Amino acid sequence: MSANGLRVIDDRFELVQRLGGGGMGTVWRARDLALHRDVALKEVRPQGADEDAESVRTLRARVLREARALARVDHPNVVTIHHIVDGGSGTYPWLVMELVTGGSLQDRLDRGPMTPTDAARLGRDLLAALVAAHAHGVEHRDVKPANVLLRPDGRPVLTDFGIAALQESTRLTATGSIIGSPDYMSPERVRGEDGGPPADLWSLGMLLYVAVEGHHPLRRGSTLATLAAVLHDEVPEPRRAGPLAGILMSLLVHDPAARPDAAALDRRLAHAAGEPIGPGSPSAAPAPGLADRVPPAAPADATSFRIAPPEPVDEPGAARVRIRVGTPYQPSRGRAVAAAIGVVSVLLSIGAPLFFLVRSALHDAQGDTAERTPATAAPTPGADATGAPEHKNLLTPDGIRTAIAELKPVMGTSKATSFVVYPDSVSAQALVKGSTKRYDRYAYRGGDAAVRDGAGGTVMTGTVATDLESIDWDAVPKLLKRAEAELGVAEPTNRYLVLNPRSTLLHTGPGISVYLSDDYGSAYLKADADGKVIEVSPQEH
């Protein structure tokens, strides 16, 4: 005990406040009396585990082994282990970790679902954390919102890595209880199989599904019913996931071999988030010369699960076939949004988020219950070729100019580093006043006021903010018509437009690209600021 009556562990860590607890132990906020800093202290004492000496020895040995392995993982999205307090044989160890003060992802989701763009960014960060740990032989086995902590700036940190990996040993000594989270366990782990990295990817997919949809698709009234649903039920297609829909459905398949690997998944998440493939990301590849950075076409799942050398290269991808246990191969019914395109077009459209806004609670409160025609729907009477009702369609010259007029006072400028237009929503990125690198995100949905959508990040080197009012938006209808005729996408499920800002790195001027996509991928048509077509990239068949 310390002088103020608080409990002190190992004569060094003063327990200040209980932060939480679960099946694998209790977490405390503690004060490191030697280094004068706050830390998180976790006592590993699983609920339901037998207290016999052999069980305690087995658990202690595994905790120490997994914690030491995790301590070798140096990654910003993996919780840092500072120290292990080991009292010797017959005791439970304590783990001393960095203190992450922004609450958990579960706390964030309790306030409402995330946008698909933000969820895709979150997914990339968590995927990078998983890949870094898998490279050291550490699997998580319990990826869920409660195990994702948030830094004050919103960046996620995956915690309870080594602790969750103890389930195999503790399951042998638990009396009829399940250690872990049935809601997020993969089917193979429910069956008692080891699972490997693909099982963690299932859990990541389920976490992202819950993040955008606001509910768990397989949760039932009891633990046994939930486990049965995970084993036997198909995951219903998400309704609010936008560009994440196809990604989620490719992850949440029963056959682990049918899930995308880390490299393919990162490329698809990057495309959905409107982000480049950066150094250190799971899909980074060896560095070619700048002039050689347009890779040949390759399937999105062509790379085996591995960590590739760092340097940004993107590749085209294809929708994945869904495989269900006990059923024949069948194509995905999900509307898979376009997988990552060639690196040059990604660089030109850097940071452009694929943004879908869900119906606001205000509209629901006002009785606006009529179903809005989705951006991916086929044309209907009273709608134009984009499938959106004419009075709400933003993918027209007038619609785009209306969006710019609404966004301009909120952004404080008409210049943007990113500008993406869908029939029913627009997202933009503009530099923070006084900065040449940092940007904020903005959003507009027809009929609603434009809003700041939060802090963004830093633009890619060479990106120059482009004046949206300098683009000839009257060319958009002709570009869409030509795209329909030449891109080879017979039945598009999605249409959108992306600003290509000027780049001093690539020596390119400003312009726009029009995209069409279906379940098999995307195609695009690129034009300059005056609407003159300079590149046509049709879909491969």
SS (H, E, C) 303-336: CCCCCCCCCCCCCCCCCCCECCCCCCCECCCCCC
Within a 13 Å sphere around the CA of 415, how many CA atoms are in the beta-carbon half? Answer: 10
Q: Which residues, at least 6 apart from 372, have a Cβ–Cβ distance to it below 8 Å?
A: 359, 389, 392, 424
526, 475 in Cβ contact below 8 A?
Answer: no
- Name the DSSP letter for residue 49: B
- Phi and psi at residue 272, in whole multiples of 5°? -65, -30
Element (H, E) at 403: helix 397-411
Question: Within its chain, how far is the Cα of 56 from the centroid?
Answer: 38
Helix axes 476-486, 397-411, angle to 10 degrees: 120
d(CA 515, CA 531): 14
Token pair for residue 307? 């960590």
Where on the phi/psi map is residue 201: left (φ > 0), alpha (ψ -120 to 50), or beta?
A: alpha
* pTM value > 0.75: no
Indicate the SS3 state at residue 38. Answer: strand
- Written as six digits, the tokens of 333 are 């019914």
Is residue 142 among the annotated active site residues? yes
Residue 140: its pLDDT value, please? 87
* Residue whose entry in the numeric block shows the structure tokens 């999105």: 300
496 closest CA partner among 409, 387, 389:
387
What architecture is the 8-97 domain classified under in CATH? 2-Layer Sandwich (3.30)
CA distance 539 to 434: 41
- The upper half-sphere exposure of residue 61, i.e. CA atoms within 13 Å in the direction of its Cβ, equals 9
Q: Tell me, rounded to whole angstroms, the distance of Cα 245 from its chain centroid.
A: 12
Domain with CATH 1.10.510.10 in the chain: 105-348
The H or E element containing residue 321 is none
CA 493 to chain centre: 22
Q: Tokens 């006084």: give the residue.
A: 434
Class of CATH domain 105-348? mainly alpha
Q: Are 329 and 265 in contact (CB under 8 A)?
A: no
pLDDT number for residue 284 = 62
- The DSSP H or E segment spanning 18 is strand 13-22
Task: Check: CB of residue 465 under 8 Å from CB of residue 499.
Answer: no
Query: What DSSP string describes 187-255?
Result: HHHHTT----HHHHHHHHHHHHHHHHHSS-TT--SSHHHHHHHHHHPPPPPPSS-GGGHHHHHHHS-S-
User: In the numeric block, which tokens belong to residue 366?
Assistant: 């006002």
* Active-site position among 142, 160, 314, 518: 142
H helix and E strand count, the chain = 14, 20
Among 85, 36, 30, smallest CA distance to 63 is for 85
Per DSSP, the residues of 84-113 read: EE---TTS--EEEEPPP-S-BHHHHHTT-P
DSSP code of 310? Answer: S
| Alpha-carbon gap, residue 174 to 308, rounded angstroms | 39
Residue 469 to residue 473: CA distance in whole angstroms: 9
* Residues facing 497 on adjacent strands: 421, 514
> What is the spatial distance between Cα 526 and Cα 534, in angstroms, rounded to a whole number?
6
Please list the pLDDT of the chain residue by residue as tens digits (541 residues).
Answer: 655 667 899 889 999 998 877 656 788 999 999 999 999 998 877 655 556 677 777 778 877 877 787 788 889 999 888 888 887 777 778 889 999 988 899 989 988 899 999 999 999 999 999 999 898 888 888 899 989 999 888 899 998 875 444 444 444 333 344 555 788 999 998 888 877 899 999 999 999 999 999 999 999 888 888 899 999 999 999 999 999 999 999 999 999 999 999 999 999 999 998 887 766 677 664 333 322 323 333 333 332 222 233 333 333 333 333 323 333 323 333 333 333 333 333 333 333 333 332 223 323 333 333 333 333 334 433 444 444 444 468 999 999 999 999 999 999 999 999 898 988 888 898 999 988 888 888 889 877 788 887 776 666 667 899 999 999 999 999 999 999 999 988 888 888 898 999 888 678 899 999 988 776 666 889 999 999 999 998 876 6
Instruction: Return the number of other C-beta atoms located less than 10 Å from residue 222's C-beta.
Output: 9
CA atoms within 13 A on the CB side of 491: 6
* pLDDT for 176: 42
Would you state the pLDDT for residue 376?
Answer: 39
